[in-house]
Amino acid sequence: METVREWLNALRTGECSARDAVTTALERIRTVDPQLQAVIAIDPERALAQADTIDRQRAGGEDPGPLAGLPIGIKDVICEKDVECTCASQILKGYRPPYDATVITMLRRAGAIPVARLNMDEFAMGSSTDHSAFAITRNPWDTNRIPGGSSGGSAAAVAARMLPCALGSDTGGSIRQPAALCGVTGLKPTYGRVSRYGLVAYASSLDQIGPLALTVEDIALLLPHLAGHDPHDATSANLPVPNYPAALFQDLRGVRLGVPKEYFIAGLDPAVETAVRSALHLFARNGADCVEISLPHTEYAIATYYIIATAEASSNLARYDGIHYGWRAPESTTLDEVYSHTRRRGFGEEVIRRIILGTYVLSSGYYDAYYLKALKVRTLIRQDFTRAFDTVDAIVTPTSPTPAFALGEKLNDPLQMYLSDIFTVSVNLAGIPGLSVPCGFSPDGLPIGLQILAKPFDEMMLLRVGHAWQQLTDFHLRRPPVCATSFSRPTTHA
């Protein structure tokens, strides 16, 4: 029992109870996580109490919801009421939100059970999950390598079968890149499709919550319980939520796929290029029409992203001052020391680097030269995609230019770390949806991801193409070495 569909079938048929499902997930975490450190915290009592409520409802003939009893992991940047939310940062140690994020409310209403808080790069700033104040998460396929980031804990937990699914957040690739490097499926919805209320902000015009799971079918089952208009989020789109599982019943015939020439560049790992081009051939053999397109402003995406994202981060993170909430440097004796000591010791080096950069590009004399110019280039990047979608239904690219790299390999070279997101940041700048699916393995046995992009609010096309791909391949079902030979299947006890 590994995929969301398998878990839900077992729960609906009575093959296992909600308590059994939660107990199984907790046991898998205890067995596997010491090798990976994907989990920041668990609250067994809280999860089991929700499971018992669901079991009582079922026994009484009530419908506890379409996801009833499904264990799920939550990236530690999404608020749960009275549950510590640290964003993997010392500065938020001890912070317990007084409310649930909208996505948590929706998942609980559907019966899903949050079981674990998952590790991440501090404040979602990173591509490796090296940048956590609490632990370095490891890749289930090779524990000497990174799982990607910033949602590395979410991707690693799903890949290692600790949990059937997890929530992540994606500001510049933070769902799709770790999904690719850990061999799972990850969706960044269109900006505005899923409420950001209760997501601790990094860059507000770029952030988006999304799911990670083993299969596209799993994503389609989860998305209806995450998407929808939310009056608490001013950027939430007031649009109907489609019947996402219906996308799974369409094949590739007649689908026109764009292949941007700017994504096959120097620096692209040969194994990644081979896997992606093989995928294109398989798409073509099964009815899709693959055509070359151009996204000419792609080369400016990294610079544009790291100006806009850091500027917004500088503003958003100004609230962490040791006064209002979170951690305060204990030796401070003056107000100036409270601010300076708390922020210097509470934030990690990568967060400080981005705050400094963002403050600089917003400063007097540099605003026009950097920030304003970046906003104009962002418009050009968005227009590139708009023109492309006039001629194609979806765009197919590599997700990451390389497979997972070694732990600590790029910590002392921030630019190289930033380039890990070269194929993903444009999607956030344009506000369009993106899906990463496994498409092969490197000679070292490391997963490779294929990125599928669609026009705004056309997640149905992503699910259609991604599911069709997974009907032709089995990369998404292969198990990493860190998994035990088999996991026990929960059974309901009398």
Catalytic residue among 75, 188, 410, 455: 75
Catalytic residue among 128, 154, 174, 314: 174
Give catalytic status of residue 376 as yes or no.
no
Catalytic residue among 150, 154, 169, 442: 150
Give catalytic status of residue 150 as yes or no.
yes
Q: Per-residue b/e over 194-213, b at no fewer than 16 CB within 10 Å?
A: bbbbbbbbbbebbbbbbbbb
Give catalytic status of residue 455 as yes or no.
no
Catalytic sites, residue numbers: 75, 150, 174
